[in-house]
Amino acid sequence: MKVNEVMTTEFEYVQPNTIMTDVADIFEAATFHHLPVLDNDKCPLGVISRHDYYQLQHHFTRLGWKDPESNNRHFLSTLLAQEVMSKGLVTLNVNDSLQLALEIFLENKVHSILITRKNKCVGVLTPFDILKTLQTPAVP
């Protein structure tokens, strides 16, 4: 089985100069956990995880400041996606095997792999995508 048979093909992404308040709005409205950062040609540059966002979101809450939500929002407005994204990307080609992806997940302890075709991001693969393929329909 190839990664393109399992990957998520409809995904949101941001550009490197996207303000983190926009990233916050995306994460607050969605259920996914990984947001690719792509350049104008959709080449992958990095990824922002929901965990990365939560770490930043509660920056002032942890300090016990008054009105932490407002302070957190202001703090996010000073950051760009390129300053927060993880740059140590793991990518695979659409024709790579699912077995290779499994080995990467297990060995590198990453939680998302960006899938490319001709150096352009065309999908996102997570362990959840793989688990969905193992699910058998319930018997009535």
Q: Report pLDDT for 57.
A: 76
Q: Report pLDDT for 34.
A: 95
Number of domains within the chain: 1
Q: What is the DSSP letter of 77?
A: T
Q: Which two tokens stand for residue 31?
A: 């259920």
Structural domain that includes position 117: 3-134
Q: Report pLDDT for 39.
A: 95
* Cα gap 140→64, rounded to integer Å: 52
Q: Does 86 fall in a domain?
A: yes
More confident residue, 51 or 140: 51
Q: Does 140 fall in a domain?
A: no
Contact 59, 34 (CB under 8 A): no
Contacts of 12 (CB under 8 A, 6+ apart): 26, 30, 32, 35
Query: Can you give the CATH number for the domain in which 91 is found?
Result: 3.10.580.10
**13: number of Cβ within 10 Å:** 20
Query: What confidence category does residue 29 fall into, taking pLDDT thresholds of 50, 70 and 90?
Result: very high
Q: Does 76 fall in a domain?
A: yes
* Cα gap 48→89, rounded to integer Å: 11
Q: pLDDT tens digit string along 61-93?
A: 666 666 667 777 888 889 999 999 999 899 999
Q: Does 11 fall in a domain?
A: yes
Q: Report pLDDT for 137.
A: 66
Q: Does 18 fall in a domain?
A: yes
Mean pLDDT for the stretch of residues 108-127: 94
| DSSP H or E segment with residue 134 | helix 127-134
